[in-house]
Structure 1
């Protein structure tokens, strides 16, 4: 039995309730816990994220080098275009959407509080033809 179990990724932000709403919409998540300074959610696939109030939080500047990534989330998706539309509708913004096509195609975004994340095309599980 492991002494330590994986917990939850926590993002600092000024408005945890608003940021939780963004990720609830993106991950088809439900709120599992909330206090005055923290909101935790669980995605449909079980991933857990929390958002902690920090009145002095400043978003990362990625892709600019100063105050760069701090933290970075990757999400696997089947349809980059459809998921991008959802991200934008929920209040996120594209940061880096140009990249080489291929099995590992990915696009960079920022959530409404400025945290960076990547949507990465899920590898195909279909057998090769030929």
Structure 2
């Protein structure tokens, strides 16, 4: 029998509390410390853990979208197509920085279905339009 478990993407940040708050507000979730030492903060929603943010006092933002560097990893946040522009305004209002296709080395920037950003700590994420409401996250046991 497999032990029940889930996984979470963890981002490093010199200021994990504020980055966790950024994602909590962006995703309509809550954030708080995972342990008493304040080294890991979790962003959680009604469906469970969505994202972790770990304290790294020496963190420096990824150099992507510099053309010579790879993106390595990014968050893809699914948004209903009819809420796409509003989601972009929310992200920018919370401190996200829009990135153009030229900045990330892409040949095509289809702004009708995908918009690229960096979070306040420099991590890459995209808003991706989907035809209907994104499915709820389910923890598989």
> What is the TM-score normalised by the length of structure 2?
0.75
Runs of 4+ residues deviating >6 angstroms:
none
Q: Aligned ranges for residues 2-41 of structure 1 at < 5 Å?
A: 2-3=2-3, 5-34=5-34, 35-41=37-43
How far apart are residue 96 of structure 1 and its match? 2.5
Q: Distance in 1 between matches of 2:13 and 2:69?
A: 15
Q: Which consecutive unaligned segments of at least 5 residues does structure 1 have?
A: 126-130
| Distance (Å, rounded) in 2 between the aligned partners of 1:63 and 1:44 | 33
| Alignment counterpart, residue 98 of structure 2, candidates 94, 99, 105 | 94
Aligned residues: 123
Structure 2 residue ranges without an equivalent (≥5): 102-107, 134-141
Q: Which has the bigger relative contact order, CA under 8 A and spacing at least 6? A: 2
Deviation of 1:63 after TM superposition, in Å, equals: 2.0
Q: Which has the higher helix share?
A: 2
Q: What's the RMSD between the two structures over aligned residues?
A: 2.3
Q: Flag the 1:65–1:43 CA change in 2: closer, same or farther, 3 A.
A: farther
Normalised to the residue count of structure 1, the TM-score between the two structures is 0.80
**Structure-1 residue corresponding to 2:139:** none
How does 1:73-112 map onto structure 2 within 5 Å?
73-78=75-80, 79-96=83-100, 99-100=109-110, 105-112=113-120
Which stretch of structure 1 is more off in the superposition, 60-69 or 111-120?
60-69
